[in-house]
Amino acid sequence: MQMVDRLLDAVRVLDLSGADADAVTRLLADLGADVLKVEPPGGSAARQELPTLAGTSIAFAVHNANKRSAVLDPLNQDDRRQFLDLAATADIVVDSGLPGQAAAYGTSCAELADRYHHLVALSITDFGAVGPRSSWRATDPVLYAMSGSLSRSGPTTGTPVLPPDGIASATAAVQAAWAVLAAYYNRLRCGVGDYIDFSRFDAVVMALDPAFGAHGQVAAGIRGSDRWRGRPKNQDAYPIYPCKDGYVRLCVMAPRQWRGLRRWLGEPDDFQDPKYDVIGARFAAWPQISVLVAALFAERTMKELVAAGQEHGVPIAAVLTPSRILASEHFQAVGAITDTELVPGVHTRVPSGYFVVDEQRCGFRAPAPSAGQDEPRWLAAPTPTPAPSGRVGGYPFEGLRILDLGIIVAGGELSRLFGDLGGEVIKVESAQYPDGLRQARAGDAMSESFAWTHRNHLALGLNLRHTEGKEIFGRLVADADAVFANFKPGTLTSLGFSYQELHALNPRIVLAGSSAFGNRGPWSTRMGYGPLVRAATGVTRLWTSGATSSDALRHAFFDATTIFPDHVVGRVGAVLALAALIHRDRTGAGTHVHISQAEVVVNQLDTLFVTEAATGGRPALRDKPVTRRTPGGVDDTGVDLEWCSQPGAGGRSTPVGWSSGRPDEPPAGHPRGPPTDRPETAGRHGSSAHRPSTASGDGAGAVSPNPAGAATPGAAARSGHVGDLPAAAGHEPR
């Protein structure tokens, strides 16, 4: 892999985290930070987390790449002093769990932040270090349930369907990386560090299909919380069809795309009326149109259909399995998946990381170290940084000017994160090509989601295709810090504002871009709606119950109601853009950074993909050399359509339960039984079925149609809330 500037190479990170936070510091390591993992004698317990590969945790191996490891014995006084010396000279400390590993050395993140005023100390727990839920534990199923995501997932009635395991934790990790990097940037600005009490649950509420900001699907649960209690009735807005060797998904939105599909279907007489250019009319007639589509697709392969769809201008994607993605020519060509020795003696395919910097991959460089492989010291002397110039107590991004060309959810979330923390964000759009998120009911100036997303923004109407518009934008670039855009690759260049042209106007400018499949590679020119990204990256295929559908004609996939990965893409972009600004402030040099939504998804599911690669998808090999853990399930409490997620614990098998008290039959493949089958959840209201951790590490989470953190005692006891909703990163809207 070609070396690139490591954006955070002046940053020292003392890593005390366990399995629930290793991914946070991996993000910082990918960006060049010197991440020193301190482990007790015998190594971190996370090294044994399931699934394992040749006796080593796959998650540990993936999430601790690019780090160093030192062993310090908490019972040894010299080692305890050395630990404090490392903390005193670090920029960032990351710990996780209660009480956290720092407690073994006689301290805590809060105490370290008080002792060393320059230090940013991040404490990561499931529900926060304070509040009535602070002792509770959460797995991904619990986080899906309590955040509201699970309430929208699955068939209209019956058991909710858990999203793929790992997305919630990975989303929380990205949010944590953003929080700690924003606090570090603030330290550079004003000279004072901070202590961050970070809740993974709060992070999932804010960043996975949230009810606020650019609205995710949970917002629909709040708006209709007093009405229908089941999952959404429209499960096929982005229809999926079987074909000769699998499935494909369509996402026909614009009139030109419909006309392309109509040509592909042979211009059927029944659908020539111009009224079908309107999506509502097509939706009403889709049962009839669908018959024609199904017949056309049935005898063709996924590859043939995707190629033909591209020729006709029809947005289409194959519904791929992880094994097909690992072998994909696109991901191989762009270096998004690499072959490496992940653990000693075992080579396998591994997602390379989220980030591209100046057209080069900035990700996997070195495998996870063995415990104690390195000396407990920093690699280099402290790097001089500019003298602080900001006021203590101000917003972190005061003085930053950002030109926002971003659109829809991913672009809007990126700029909102900077605007909420004090940046001057100028939203640039034209009347001819307005942001699609503005679309609203007749008579409304804009959608509620657009208003939430672009709070704390300035607005400028500017036609970048017009000579005068170009001149005005160029003058703004000369005095800006960053430009954000998530257009289709090539759009900025066609407008005369490639990175080279922006750099000529302002050598310090940071261009942060994103696109569906990246700005290079065989898939880069594909139309990239979120549902197509999910299909092409394995999410759709994995978002399934595995049970037989009551509708024999329908597939078993249930990802149609999520907005994933848009919200987390905005946050990955924010982390990368901020790292580029930190590097710019130190070196004076601007940077072009880019992320691919598809690659974000693959890295969110990195443990799953590596497990698939190690087994080759062959069941006979799945216990050798891989040992797996058991995911959780969903229980019916038997009360008023209430459900409760039931996480797996370690390697034990935790069954999916169904209890009586409902008029409908249990879903196929689910055990039938009276409420006493699950005495801890059956017959209880969903909100009371959540139980905290036990000695075995088991627990449960109520499936809420609202984000369970939006107005609860646990949330009220924690800071960072405005009215009924959590504020972004603990700051009130200005």
Looking at residue 96, its pLDDT comes to: 97
Give 94's contacts (C-beta < 8 A, 6+ positions apart): 13, 14, 15, 16, 17, 21, 24, 25, 122, 124, 180
Looking at residue 627, its pLDDT comes to: 55
Mean pLDDT, residues 588-593: 97
Copy the structure tokens of residue 248: 């494909």
Res. 638 pLDDT band, cuts 50 70 90: very low
Angle made by CA atoms 176, 182, 188, in degrees to the nearest 5: 140
pLDDT greater at residue 267 or residue 682: 267
CB distance 697 to 649 below 8 Å: yes
Q: Is 483 helix (H, G, I), strand (E, B) or coil?
A: strand
Copy the structure tokens of residue 616: 């080759």
Mean pLDDT, residues 402-429: 95
**Predicted confidence (pLDDT) per residue in 450-497, tens digit:** 888 889 999 999 999 999 999 999 999 999 999 999 999 999 999 999
Looking at residue 193, its pLDDT comes to: 97
Mean pLDDT, residues 317-345: 94
pLDDT greater at residue 167 or residue 442: 167
Model confidence at 617: pLDDT above 70: no
Which phi and psi angles does 347 have, rounded to 5°? -95, 140
Taking the C-alpha atoms of residue 299 and residue 244, their distance in angstroms, rounded to an integer, is: 5
pLDDT greater at residue 243 or residue 630: 243
CB distance 249 to 557 below 8 Å: no
Looking at residue 712, its pLDDT comes to: 53
The neighbouring-strand residues paired with 634 are 645
Find the range with the poorest average confidence among 96-100, 237-241, 441-445, 550-554.
550-554
Residue (of 62, 22, 14, 66) closest to 44 by Cα position: 22
Res. 48 pLDDT band, cuts 50 70 90: very high
Find the range with the poorest average confidence among 378-382, 573-577, 668-672.
668-672
Taking the C-alpha atoms of residue 300 and residue 244, their distance in angstroms, rounded to an integer, is: 5
Per cent of the chain over pLDDT 90 is 67
Model confidence at 241: pLDDT above 50: yes
CATH 3.40.50.10540 domain locations along the chain:
1-212
The neighbouring-strand residues paired with 348 are 340
pLDDT greater at residue 724 or residue 470: 470
Residues annotated as part of the active site: 566
Res. 233 pLDDT band, cuts 50 70 90: confident
Q: Is 240 helix (H, G, I), strand (E, B) or coil?
A: strand
Copy the structure tokens of residue 573: 């972009």
Taking the C-alpha atoms of residue 686 and residue 476, their distance in angstroms, rounded to an integer, is: 53
Model confidence at 668: pLDDT above 90: no
Taking the C-alpha atoms of residue 204 and residue 176, their distance in angstroms, rounded to an integer, is: 11
Phi-psi region of 242 (alpha: psi -120 to 50; beta: other; left: phi over 0): beta
Model confidence at 403: pLDDT above 70: yes
The number of beta carbons lying within 10 Å of the beta carbon of residue 597 is: 28
Give 5's contacts (C-beta < 8 A, 6+ positions apart): 32, 357, 358, 583, 587, 589, 591
**Predicted confidence (pLDDT) per residue in 686-709, tens digit:** 444 454 443 345 556 667 666 644
| Sequence letter at residue 316 | I
Res. 340 pLDDT band, cuts 50 70 90: very high
Looking at residue 521, its pLDDT comes to: 95
Model confidence at 565: pLDDT above 60: yes
Mean pLDDT, residues 506-532: 94
Looking at residue 507, its pLDDT comes to: 98
Count how many Cα atoms sit within 13 Å of the Cα of residue 131 in the half-sphere of its side chain: 23
| Sequence letter at residue 130 | V
Model confidence at 681: pLDDT above 80: no
Looking at residue 669, its pLDDT comes to: 36
CATH 3.30.1540.10 domain locations along the chain:
240-316
| Sequence letter at residue 107 | T
**Predicted confidence (pLDDT) per residue in 164-191, tens digit:** 999 999 999 999 999 999 999 999 999 9
H-helix or E-strand spanning residue 124: strand 120-125
Q: What is the mean pLDDT of the chain?
A: 85
**Predicted confidence (pLDDT) per residue in 58-91, tens digit:** 999 999 999 999 999 999 999 999 999 999 999 9
Model confidence at 311: pLDDT above 60: yes
Looking at residue 660, its pLDDT comes to: 26
Model confidence at 206: pLDDT above 50: yes
Long-range contact pairs involving 449-455 (C-beta distance under 8 Å, separation at least 24): 449/214, 449/215, 449/219, 450/412, 452/212, 452/213, 452/214, 452/215, 453/213, 453/214, 453/409, 453/412, 453/413, 453/416, 454/412, 454/415, 454/416, 454/419, 454/427, 455/416, 455/419, 455/420, 455/733
DSSP conformation class of 277: G
CB distance 335 to 599 below 8 Å: no
Taking the C-alpha atoms of residue 345 and residue 728, their distance in angstroms, rounded to an integer, is: 44
B/e letters for 650-682, b = 16+ CB within 10 Å, e = fewer, are eeeebebbbbbebeeebbeebeeeebebbeebb
Distances (CA, A) of 303 to 227, 238, 315: 43, 19, 14
Q: Is 512 helix (H, G, I), strand (E, B) or coil?
A: strand
Mean pLDDT, residues 137-164: 90
| Options 3.40.50.10540, 2.40.30.10, 3.40.190.10, 3.40.50.800; CATH of 1-212 | 3.40.50.10540
Taking the C-alpha atoms of residue 568 and residue 537, their distance in angstroms, rounded to an integer, is: 15
Cis peptide before 692 (omega within 30 of 0): no
**Maximum Cα–Cα distance across the chain:** 85
Taking the C-alpha atoms of residue 536 and residue 316, their distance in angstroms, rounded to an integer, is: 10
Alpha helices per DSSP H over 545-701:
566-587, 597-604, 606-615, 686-689
Taking the C-alpha atoms of residue 2 and residue 21, their distance in angstroms, rounded to an integer, is: 28
CB distance 204 to 562 below 8 Å: no
Taking the C-alpha atoms of residue 570 and residue 723, their distance in angstroms, rounded to an integer, is: 24
CB distance 545 to 556 below 8 Å: yes
Q: For the purposes of burial, counting CB atoms within 10 Å of the CB of 423, is it exposed (0-12), middle (13-18) or buried (19 or more)?
A: buried
Res. 632 pLDDT band, cuts 50 70 90: low
Looking at residue 678, its pLDDT comes to: 40
Looking at residue 622, its pLDDT comes to: 38
Give CATH superfamily name and number for 240-316. Answer: formyl-coa transferase, domain 3 (3.30.1540.10)
Model confidence at 633: pLDDT above 50: yes
Alpha helices per DSSP H over 487-556:
491-494, 499-505, 530-536, 539-542
Res. 329 pLDDT band, cuts 50 70 90: very high
pLDDT greater at residue 504 or residue 706: 504
As a whole number of Å, the CA-based R_g of the chain is: 25
Q: How far is CA 37 from the centre of its chain?
A: 24
Res. 445 pLDDT band, cuts 50 70 90: confident
Distances (CA, A) of 576 to 123, 181, 196, 284: 22, 10, 20, 43
Taking the C-alpha atoms of residue 297 and residue 3, their distance in angstroms, rounded to an integer, is: 45
Looking at residue 252, its pLDDT comes to: 95
Length of the chain: 734
Residue (of 534, 518, 597) closest to 248 by Cα position: 534
